[in-house]
Amino acid sequence: MEAVKNYYFADMRVMLGRSMRHVLRSMDTIITVTIMPVAMMLLFVYVLGGAIQSGSDNYVNYLLPGILLIAIANSIGYTSYRLFNDVQRGIFERFNSMPVSRSAALWGHVLTSLVSNAISLTVIVLVALIMGFRSHAGILQWLAVAGLLALVTLTLTWIAAIAGLSAKSVDGATAIAYPIHLLPLISSAFVPTSSMPKGVRAFAENQPMTSIVETIRALLFNQPVGNAIWIAIAWCAGLMIVAYLFAMRAYRKHV
């Protein structure tokens, strides 16, 4: 049993390395996932920040959680695209004919999303620190933020996997990123929901990104998180379980 487990994890490490090489060789991915969110942060803080009433002395402190979610949303389109390419090229069928664990190839893409996002989010936080971001969080709060961002990444990655494994065209595979990309924009990520029209405000306050943003913001400034953290975890856990089941069902068609 132990040998089988070691064999499985060895296969996943190989698949993770394979997928990570694709990411590191793609300048387009690096620009979209890391540089574009940084550029958006610079734009909002130094161009639009003076006109936005966020209730914070330094707008970058208010803005950062939303920028982190934007970066994750940007990345999932590439996960879907890489999965679509593997399906079209028959990569999964080839691996299935080799002594390779069946789900290792899929998990390689999922873990790549987790690792690449961790790197890009770290870069964004470092840039925010240069821009004046300051946090009152201790080590436990930072670990909680990292855990929640990892949970969000896994949730969105499994949603993207459904599109990548089921799409009939490249456009269909990458289209999943667009509605998810809009969710942080229609939340409390950039402005307080109290400034929004009634209908938009109702949607913003009852969609998952707002509870995630509010939880991260409270943790970063060592404030009480209240029920927001449990709402955020419930959203992520529920969506991830459903997405995982549908993604594995689509994956089994190819293996």
Q: What is the pLDDT of residues 153-204, one digit of tens each?
A: 999 999 999 988 888 888 888 787 788 888 888 988 888 888 889 989 999 9
From 28-32, 49-53, 81-85, the region with the lowest mean pLDDT: 49-53
Task: Give the model's confidence band at 7: pLDDT under 50 very low, under 70 low, under 90 confident, else very high.
Answer: low
Q: What is the DSSP string of the chain?
A: -HHHHHHHHHHHHHHHHHHHHHHHT-HHHHIIIIIHHHHHHHHIIIIIGGG---S-SSHHHHHHHHHHHHHHHHHHHHHHHHHHHHHHTTHHHHHHTTTS-TTHHHHHHHHHHHHHHHHHHHHHHHHHHHTT------HHHHHHHHHHHHHHHHHHHHHHHHHHHH-SSHHHHHTTHHHHHHHHHTTTTTS-GGGS-HHHHHHHHTSHHHHHHHHHHHHHTT---TTHHHHHHHHHHHHHHHHHHHHHHHHHTT-
Q: Is the pLDDT of residue 8 over 70?
A: no
What is the residue range of 200's domain? 2-252
Question: For residue 255, what pLDDT is reported?
Answer: 64
Q: Is the pLDDT of residue 64 over 90?
A: yes
- Is 26 or 245 the better-scoring residue by pLDDT? 245
Task: Give the model's confidence band at 16: pLDDT under 50 very low, under 70 low, under 90 confident, else very high.
Answer: confident
Q: Is the pLDDT of residue 4 over 50?
A: no
Question: For residue 85, what pLDDT is reported?
Answer: 84
Q: What is the pLDDT of residues 104-162, one digit of tens each?
A: 778 888 898 899 899 999 999 999 999 989 888 889 999 999 999 999 999 999 999 99
Please tell me the total count of domains within the chain.
1
Question: For residue 214, what pLDDT is reported?
Answer: 94
